Amino acid sequence: MEKRVVFDNRWLPYLLLAPQLLVTFVFFFWPAGQAIYQSAFIPDPFGLKTQFVGLGNFEYLFGNRYYRESFLTTAVFSVLVTVSAMSFALWLAVLADRVIKGSSAYRTLLIWPYAVAPAIAGVLWLFMFNPFTGIIAWMLAQLGYTWNHTLDGGQAMALVVAASAWKQISYNFLFFLAGLQAIPKSVIEAAAIDGASFWRRFRTIVFPLLSPTTFFLLVVNIIYAFFDTFGVIHTITKGGPEQSTTILVYKVFSDGFVGQDLGSSAAQSVILLGLVGILTVVQFRYIERRVHY
C-alpha cells in the first residue's frame, strides 16, 4: 500500500518545499533563463547597448571553426578523463580490496586528492611540469624528451587530462571500493571453486556486479569532465596553446569574460546545457539497460 501524508493546512507543503525550490530557481532556472534570453542579443563593442539578433549567435557559432574544434577537444578531453580516472580508480580499488594489513591507511591516503581544490590541483601539476623549473619536466629532459606544454598542444592536453583525472580518481576509488566490498565474499569463493582464475572472476562476476557503480560513476565523471575541470584548465593552460585545450565550458568563459562577447557566451551555455542533457538521457536509456541491479 502506498503511504500518503495528508496535510491539513494547504500552504504547509508549499512552505516545506520552498527552500529547495528557491535554491533551484535562483541558481538554475533564473541563470538558465538569462542565458537563453541573452543568447538572442549581441552587445556593442563598449557594452552600452545590445541588439536583438534572434538565432544569429548560434548561426555564427556553428559556422566558426574554433567552436567546432572545441567540440572535438571536449570529446577527446572528457573521454580521456573519464576513462583514465575510472580505470585507474578501479585498479586501485581492486588492489585496496585485497589488502588486509593497514587497509584503512591506504584508503585514507587514496582519498586525499579529492580534498584538493581544482585550481590548487592545477597549480601542483603546473609546478611539476613547468618546462623550465618543473621536476618532472627536468626528469623527462634527462631522458631526452623535451617537455613544453606551453608550445605542444598534445602535451598540454595530456597534462590537463592527467591533472583532472588525478583529482577524480579518489572519488571514483571510494565508490568502486564500496562496490567491491558489497559483493559477497562467498560469491567470489564459489567462482574460485568453479575454476575461474582471478582475471576470469573479475571479468564475469566482479565487473558485472559492479555495473551499477560503474554506471553511476560514468554519468558523474562525464559531467565532471565537462564542467568541474574548468579550474584545472584555467590554472594550467588557459585553454592554450592555440586553443588546443579549450573545452566548451572554458570557451564559454573566455569568449564571455575575456572576449566580452556575452551574447555568444550565453549561446554557448545554452548549447552546452542541451548537450549534457542529451548525453545524460542517452546514458540512462542505452547504457543503463546493461546494468544489473
Partner 1 sequence: MAEIKLEAIRKSYGRTEVIHGIDAEISDGEFIVIVGPSGCGKSTLLRMVAGLETITSGDIHIGDRVVNKLEPRERDIAMVFQNYALYPHMSVFDNMAYGLKIANVPKAEIQARVAEAARMLELEPYLDRKPRQLSGGQRQRVAMGRAIVRKPAVFLFDEPLSNLDAKLRVQMRLEIKALQRKLGVTALYVTHDQVEAMTLADRMIVMNGGVAEQIGAPLDVYANPATLFVAGFIGSPPMNVLSHDIRPGRGALDPGAVIGVRPEHIDLVAPGAGLIDFDVAFCEPLGAETLVHGVTAAGDKLVVRIDGEVKLPADGTRIGLSIDPARILTFDASGRRTET
Residues that bind partner 1 (CB under 8 A): 184, 186-187, 189-197, 200, 204-205, 208-209, 292
Residues 261/255, Cβ–Cβ less than 8 Å: yes
How far is it, in rounded angstroms, from Cα 55 to Cα 253? Answer: 20
Nearer to partner 1, 150 or 211 (CB): 211
Q: What are phi and psi of 41, to 5 degrees?
A: -125, 155
Closer to partner 1 by Cβ: residue 285 or 292: 292
**Lookup: cell for 14:** 508549499
Q: Looking at beta carbons only, is 65 or 292 nearer to partner 1?
A: 292
Closer residue to partner 1 in complex, CB, 59/194: 194
**Least distance from partner 1 to the Cβ atom of residue 200, Å:** 7
Set of cell numbers at residue 118 = 581544482
| Contacts (Cβ under 8 Å, ≥6 apart) of 161 | 77, 80, 81, 84
Count of residues for the chain? Answer: 293
The C-alpha atoms of residue 82 and residue 222 are separated, in whole angstroms, by 6
Q: Quick one: which H or E segment has residue 43?
A: strand 41-43
Give how far Cα 54 sits from Cα of 47, 62, 86, 166, Å.
18, 15, 41, 42
CB of 133 to partner 1, least distance (A): 49
**Residue 32 vs 182, nearer CB to partner 1:** 182
Q: How far is the CB of 202 from partner 1 (least distance, A)?
A: 13
CB of 196 to partner 1, least distance (A): 5
| Closest CB 190 distance from partner 1, rounded Å | 4
* Amino acid in position 82: T
CB of 94 to partner 1, least distance (A): 18
What dihedral angle (degrees, nearest 10) is formed by the CA atoms of 203, 204, 208, 214? Answer: 0
Query: Between 83 and 209, whose beta carbon lies closer to partner 1?
Result: 209
